[in-house]
Amino acid sequence: MDAEREVLDVLARNAREDIDDIAAQTGLDADAVADAIDALEADNVVHGYQAVVDWDRVDEGKIRAIVEINVELDRETGYEQVADRIAKFPAVDALHLVSGDYDFAVEVLGETMEDVSRFISEQVAPMPEVTQTVTHYIMDTYKDGGIRFEDGDDDDRLSVSP
Amino acid sequence: MRLSDRARDLPESGIRKFFELAEARDDVISLGVGEPDFSAPWAARTAAIDSLERGKTSYTSNRGMAALRERISAHHERYDQSYDPAEEVLVTTGASEAVDLAFRALVDPGDTVAVHEPTYISYGPGIELAGGEQLTVPTRAEDDFALTRESLEAAGAAEADLLVLCYPNNPTGATMTEEEYAEVAAFCRDEDLRVIADEIYSALTYGADHASIATQPGMRERTVVVNGFSKAYAMTGLRLGYALGPTDVIDAMNRIHQYTMLSAPTTPQYAAIEALDRCDDEVAEMVEEYNRRRRLVVSRFNEMGLDTFEPGGAFYAFPDCGGDDEAFAEELLEAQGVAVVPGSVFGEGGEGHLRVSYATSMRELKEATDRIATFVENR
């Protein structure tokens, strides 16, 4: 495996690993790890580093919704142009072009359900290319970013075994 | 009640003491665990659940389900091992049963069984229960705990009837290369030794592929290979293993097995079929994670001045603690709440070392190695 891929595998699991620990885990030296991270960022492989947050556990947390959006394109307007306009709204947390019954799957973050509804009805739905939106509010999250949202440690192995 | 002499004389495992010391505290980070921290792949677990829902709760064939034996046989082609699923594979209740059956099938009272040490703790008692006598062959730190012809000769293993091998090794993490096996195989052929090769950690190797003595010239017919699902598929509690070997030995082991166990448990056999069919990717992910932890742990121990050779397999590092390993482990537990197992528990050659299991989350490994570094500085 090349150095960038090894570093990426570690960061994708835990972006807070420091360079020395990544070096220890991959067998690379610290400079090579730093170079790999620089290259991953420069090549837009790594776009940023974020915490995986269970917003339900935060007082005054956030409301999340997945919004299906159908669009109608014309000669001057393609998916890229529409995506560019949708993605500019700060409330849009993630935006994917998808196969199937609708075109875009949009993850929206808001302070309240009302905020999200208003955003969709007042900002997204009126866009000329948008023909339909369906909003699914997320009621509970069990797993995100590959991490199960569970309580603490359930290691029930014997503490010392042969 | 009066006990048999055999039962009365069987010693308590040296692990027990450390288990009790560790259990007495509730703030312990344990690097003393000899099993994976992962759960069995979900697909394998659902196959077990499905089998129960379909009412598959009867005995299987003594030798194990034919569908499972076929898959085990196909699976072992990756190690260049070739065994007929009908006659040369026996599914057992954990690899432990396979080891026990092999001793009972191969050891006569008074026979001598050579065992390299440090090694897994069950072989000695198994040999004793079969009426044999253990001859210890210490392996050496300077050989990275690989077994050499020289150590076999020095220990007088030429007089032995049987040799037990355990590589990748618990507790050292040592592995053997084809070249190292060639030397040991020549010794076995020259001295007419039969072999039980416990290869339960075969899937957990780092850098080099697993090698087996059974693929050396002239060794297949004198070797019983033991393996299982516990370590590779994180299925320790499901208790499923197997033996591979020549028809006559597998027949003999099966005769004992049919009276003592009848068949391995049915539910885990369904899980194992699914594991072999569909869980290679998950095993590969576990191996990658173990590998990252292995490198971190080895580099941290070497940084703190406890010399640690690079283990090629299993999920153990075996640092040299520079003195009394039992005292080190007890004081470390007392001072820093970190449990490790003293190397001497695993027999001759283990003294002065610690078995450190990295089958624990990266976060705990970092915290534990920080605490050990503090302990070493203040000691």
Q: Look up the CATH number of the domain holding residue A95.
A: 3.30.70.920
Across the range A20-25, mean pLDDT stands at 96
- Could you tell me the pLDDT band of residue A85, with boundaries at 50, 70 and 90? very high
Pair B244, B83: CB distance under 8 Å: yes
Q: Does residue A161 form part of some domain?
A: no
Across the range B249-272, mean pLDDT stands at 98
**pLDDT for residue B116:** 98
> Are residues A78 and A9 located together in one domain of the fold?
no
Backbone angles phi, psi at B185, to 5 degrees: -65, -40
C-alpha torsion sign, points B52, B58, B64, B67: negative
> Are residues A93 and A130 located together in one domain of the fold?
yes
Q: Is B347 left (phi over 0), alpha (psi -120 to 50) or beta?
A: left
Q: Does residue A155 form part of some domain?
A: no
Which of helix, strand or coil describes residue B349?
coil
pLDDT at B195 over 70: yes
pLDDT at B3 over 90: yes
Distance CA B193, CA B159 (A): 9
Q: Do A21 and B34 touch (CB under 8 A)?
A: no
Among residues of chain B, what percentage have pLDDT more than 70?
Answer: 100
Across the range A53-58, mean pLDDT stands at 90
Mean pLDDT taken over chain A = 94
> Are residues A22 and A61 located together in one domain of the fold?
no
Distance of CA B278 to the CA centre of its chain: 24
B28 interfaces chain A, CB cutoff of 8 Å: yes
> Are residues A35 and A111 located together in one domain of the fold?
no
> Are residues A62 and A129 located together in one domain of the fold?
yes
**pLDDT for residue A153:** 66
> Are residues A59 and A9 located together in one domain of the fold?
no
Interface test with A, best of B12, B282, B292 (most A CBs within 10 A): B292
**pLDDT for residue B111:** 98
> Are residues A36 and A95 located together in one domain of the fold?
no
Distance CA B326, CA B339 (A): 11
Report pLDDT digits (tens) over A111-153: 999 999 999 999 999 999 999 999 999 999 999 998 999 876 6
Lowest-confidence segment of A138-152, B138-152, B355-369 by average pLDDT: A138-152
- Set of chain B residues whose Cβ sits within 8 Å of the Cβ of A158: 19, 33
Q: Does residue A156 form part of some domain?
A: no
> Are residues A97 and A19 located together in one domain of the fold?
no
Q: Which amino acid is at A7?
A: V
> Are residues A16 and A69 located together in one domain of the fold?
no
Q: Which residues does A contribute to its contact with B (CB < 8 Å)?
A: 9-10, 14, 21, 24-27, 155, 157-162
Distance CA A124, CA A107 (A): 13
- Set of chain A residues whose Cβ sits within 8 Å of the Cβ of B288: 9
> Are residues A87 and A14 located together in one domain of the fold?
no
Q: What is the ipTM metric for this complex?
A: 0.87
> Are residues A67 and A133 located together in one domain of the fold?
yes
| Range of the structural domain that residue A76 is part of | 55-144
Q: Does residue A160 form part of some domain?
A: no
- Could you tell me the pLDDT band of residue A1, with boundaries at 50, 70 and 90? low
Residue with tokens 């972006």, as numbered in its chain: A15
Which of helix, strand or coil describes residue B236?
helix
pLDDT at B199 over 90: yes
- Set of chain A residues whose Cβ sits within 8 Å of the Cβ of B366: 21
Q: Does residue A158 form part of some domain?
A: no
Q: Does residue A48 form part of some domain?
A: no
Quote the Cα angle for B236-B240-B245, to 5°. Answer: 130
Distance CA B344, CA B342 (A): 6
Structural domains in chain B?
Answer: 5-40+281-378 (3.90.1150.10), 56-278 (3.40.640.10)
Distance CA A153, CA B15 (A): 24
**pLDDT for residue B108:** 98
Q: Does residue A149 form part of some domain?
A: no
Across the range B362-375, mean pLDDT stands at 97
Q: Does residue A153 form part of some domain?
A: no
pLDDT at B13 over 90: no
C-alpha torsion sign, points A73, A79, A85, A89: positive
- Could you tell me the pLDDT band of residue B42, with boundaries at 50, 70 and 90? very high
